[in-house]
Each structure stands twice: as structure tokens, then as C-alpha cells.
Structure 1
Amino acid sequence: MPRWVVPAVFWTLVLAVLLFVFRPGWADQDTETPARPAAAAPSSLPGASRHASPSAGPAAGPSMPRSAPTRLRIPRIGVDAPFIGLRIGPSGALDPPPADDTNLVGWQESGVSPGELGTAIVAGHLDTATAPAVFARLGELEAGDTFEVSRADGTTAAFVVDSVEEFDKDDFPDRRVYEDTPNALVRLITCAGAYDRKAKDYTENLVVFAHLKEPGERATPALEGR
């Protein structure tokens, strides 16, 4: 993740980003024209040099020690899914969660863990060739909704949604999504828009921007359903 106070590093990272972002389809079926993509998950996730890291400045909000996430719960949209760690593949892009598991989310394990200072990246499939997947209803979330991440250390991190937005993959707001920050932030990312059969990929990404809930902060009680 670029640090805006170090221009030389920033431009180095920008060059690295251009080399591997927006590659089409994470995992395609062997059929020529699938009715649905086998892995409708974001194809523009960060590589090793793009994961966000804590800012050198003082923390501006609450945070938690580093701990691997174990489960994501968003009852409002029916999500109750385990995590899998995702690594950077040979192409330089983040490998996707397995295409044959519709109820699984992945996090960039070389980056920030949810609840830790910095921007944590969580990815999930929109659908598969045969069925909707874990983030099929992600676009239904609204600002003020909350969700929880259970962590390996036995703690639970509660997050508040700031916004839910869609971006064309050819005009993805790299800086904003993977920002360097002194806060504990999470991005939930999946595919959106129309499915391009030629590219075997969706044309857009949907991003949920969220922050770690502060003690006493009021938010929509999405964890209790609606």
C-alpha cells in the first residue's frame, strides 16, 4: 500500500499495480460459454505490494492486536461463513477462494487482519456456475449496518458500514480502496455489473467500506436482522 508521504515508493507501487490489476476471471469453467462464471469474485485484488498497512501516525480510532479471522457473520444478508487465507499467486494477484465452495470468504493473510490497524481485505464470490455464493447479497448492505468477524484469539471484531459502492474495473479507485490509514478498516469485495462472456468476468467490483466499531457507537442493528 503506497504511503503518500513517500512519493518514490508511491510511484513504484503504482507501477506494480499496473502490472497485475484487473486480470480477467479468477477461475473459469472448462466449458466455452458458462451460464454463470465459476468464480465471480473480484479480479482486482491487491498483490503483496498493494495490501494496506498501518500508518506511521497515531491511531485515530479503536484497534485490536493482530489475529487471523475465523468467521464472518452478516445476518441481515444471511452470511455466516468461515475464512480461508489467500496468498499472492504466480501472476502477482491474490488467489481466489476455491470456486467450488459457495460459503467461504478469504482474507489477504499477508496483509492486515480484520480489527488490526490498517485496511483488511476480505473477498468472496458473487456466484458460481451453478449457484449464488457467499456475497450474492452484499449489495443490499447500507451505511450504518454492522457485521462481525470472529478471530482466532477468541475475540470478535464488530464493524460499521460506511458505504457500499460499485466501480468499473477499468476505473477502480485503487488509492481509496487500499488506503494507508491509522484506523482499523475492512473492505468486503466481490464482483458486480454485467457478466462479460468474452472476458469471462464481471465488468465491475462492489466494495463495502467499513470501520471497526467504537465503544458506545450507535449503528443499525443489522446483527439482529431486519
Structure 2
Amino acid sequence: MLRYAAVIVLSLMAVPVSAAPVSFDGAWKTQKFSLFSSNTYGFNGNSVSVTSDGSVSLAYRPLDTSYWNATSAQWSWRVDEGVPATDLRQKGGDDRNLALYFVFLPPDQAQALQGASVRKLLTNDAARVLVYVWGGAHKRGAVLGSPYLGSRGKTIVLRGAGTGSASETVNLGRDYANAFGGGGAALVGVALSGDSDDTDTRIRASISGLRVD
């Protein structure tokens, strides 16, 4: 078993990674949190629009093995209408304009859980999730505990509540090490959400040009 695990790790380390786009295509699937509340996502290849009217849901896309060694990401996002500033540490009161999730698993778990649903991944004890957020009443760079993921997730604030447009580049490897203490992990999926249900407000926003390397 140990020899098999070592082979998996070495094979993943040998996978070359260059800057690669993550398309907003039909591979994305929506996960509702309520039967009566869901956002609307408009997937259009290079970009996705997010419409949220007092609602919340999450869209998830698994990543194949060519992405698993990625250590950085970049994207652009825009908020034309957003939610007020909230405390992102408060469960049930943490509305935010946009959140982009990067989901990691240990290499052996990544192999075993290929094709698993986002709900199964996010409730897996081995999963670790970095959540980059536009929203909240916190300063840029704040690293917060997740009220839903516990020790398995960290929220990193890139933009406070407000509107406008911006481009981001994040160091996934450094942020993962700072949040979870390092260790090998495979980037197995990405997710995005808008969240306006607690404040019963509206979001009109978009994300484009998502790439990882």
C-alpha cells in the first residue's frame, strides 16, 4: 500500500503544469442549498455572470489531473450591484458578492474521489478549501475561519463590500501552506458563488479569464 501511494505521488509530481484556462462551460454544475432559493449563472466560455436575488447557491467544476499540481491562479471579476458589508465569520449572516473556491485533496484521496459531487468533497474530512472573497466588512488580505467548513476551510478577503472591477493573482501554494500548514495536496476542483439571502438584497456580477498554473 505504501509503495502504491508513493507511485501516485511521484506520478502527480511528474505532471507538467503551465498556465491553463478553466473554461466556464457545461462542466459546471449547480449545487442548491434550498429548494426555493438559487442563483442564476450564465456560463459563456471565458466568463460567467452571477445573478442573485435574496438567494444563494454554488456552482462547481471538477479539474482533471493536468491541473492538480497548480500553485497559483488569476482571474478578473466585476460587481455592478452587490450586498452590504457583513461579518464573514458569522454563520447565517455572511453574505458576499462573489466567492471563488479552490478545493484540494491529498493525492491518494484525489484519485479515489474523482468525479465525486461537490457536496461529498466539501464534507470530506481530508478536503481543504481556500475561499477568495469579494465582500464583507474586512480588510484586504484578512484570513478568516469558515463558519461552514471549520478547520477544513479558510476565507481570504481580496475585496471588501462594494462595486467595481478588478483583476486578481493569488499564490495558492503559499496561501495553502499558511492556512493549513503545508503538505502535498492536489487541486481537484473550483467553485463559485454569490450570496444575498441573509440580507435579502441583489447581486449582479461576473467572473472572467480564470487560469491556474
Compare the two structures and name the one with the higher strand fraction: 2
TM value normalised by structure 1: 0.29
